[in-house]
Structure 1
Amino acid sequence: MDTQRLPGCYRHPDRQTGIRCTRCERPICPDCMVDASVGFQCPECVRTGSGTGHAPAANQPRTVGGGAVVAGDPALVTKILIGINVAVFVAVLATGGATVHNELVNRLAMLGQAREQLGPLAYGPLEGVATGEWYRLLTSMFLHEEIWHIGFNMLSLWFLGPSLEAALGRARYLALYLVSGLAGSALVYLLAEPNVQTLGASGAIYGLFGATAVLMRRMRYDMRPVIALLVINLVITFGWSGISWQAHVGGLVAGVLIAIGMVHAPREHRSLVQWGTCGLVLAAVVVAVLLRTAALT
Structure 2
Amino acid sequence: MDQVPGSPQEPRDAHGDDGLPGCYRHTDRPTGIRCTRCEQPICPDCMVSASVGFQCPDCVRDGSGRAAQATAPRTIAGASIAANPRLVTMILLGINIAVFIAAQLTDGRLVVDLFLYGGSVAYGESYRLLTAMFLHQQIPHIAFNMLSLWWLGPPLEAALGRVRFLALYMLAGLGGSALSYLLAAPDQPSLGASGAIFGLLGATAVLLRRLKYDMKPVLILLGLNLVFTFLWPNIAWQAHVGGLVVGAAVAFGMVHAPRDRRTTVQIATCAVALLAIVAVVWVRTLQLVG
Match of residue 23 from structure 1: none
Match of residue 40 from structure 2: none
Q: For the residues of structure 2 that align with 1:76 and 1:151, how far apart are their CA atoms? A: 19
Q: For the residues of structure 2 that align with 1:161 and 1:58, how far apart are their CA atoms? A: 27
Tell me if the contact between 2:172 and 2:247 (Cα under 8 Å) persists in the aligned partners: yes
Q: For the residues of structure 2 that align with 1:68 and 1:182, how far apart are their CA atoms? A: 26
Matched, 1:94 2:94: no
Match of residue 107 from structure 1: 113
Q: For the residues of structure 1 that align with 2:109 and 2:70, how far apart are their CA atoms? A: 53
Matched, 1:192 2:200: no
Q: After TM superposition, give the deviation of residue 65 of structure 1 in Å.
A: 1.0
Match of residue 4 from structure 1: none
1:166 to 130, 153, 158: 158
Measured against aligned partners, the alpha-carbon deviations of 1:42-84 in whole angstroms (never above 9, x if no partner) come to xxxxxxxxxx93415242432111112233x210000000000
Q: For the residues of structure 1 that align with 2:248 and 2:254, how far apart are their CA atoms? A: 10
Q: For the residues of structure 2 that align with 1:78 and 1:277, how far apart are their CA atoms? A: 22
1:221 to 191, 194, 213: 213
Matched, 1:83 2:94: yes
Deviation above 6 Å: which 4+ runs of structure 1?
none
1:277 to 269, 275, 279: 269
Q: For the residues of structure 2 that align with 1:238 and 1:162, how far apart are their CA atoms? A: 28
Measured against aligned partners, the alpha-carbon deviations of 1:6-25 in whole angstroms (never above 9, x if no partner) come to xxxxxxxxxxxxxxxxxxxx
- Change over 3 Å in CA distance of 1:58–1:276 after alignment to 2: closer
Match of residue 47 from structure 1: none
Measured against aligned partners, the alpha-carbon deviations of 1:94-130 in whole angstroms (never above 9, x if no partner) come to 111xxxxx321111100110xxxxxxxxxxxxxx110
Measured against aligned partners, the alpha-carbon deviations of 1:226-262 in whole angstroms (never above 9, x if no partner) come to 0000000000000111000000000000011001101
Matched, 1:53 2:45: no
Q: RMSD over aligned Cα, in angstroms?
A: 1.1
* Length, aligned pairs only: 226
TM-score normalized by structure 1? 0.74
Q: After TM superposition, give the deviation of residue 88 of structure 1 in Å.
A: 0.3
1:62 to 53, 60, 74: 74
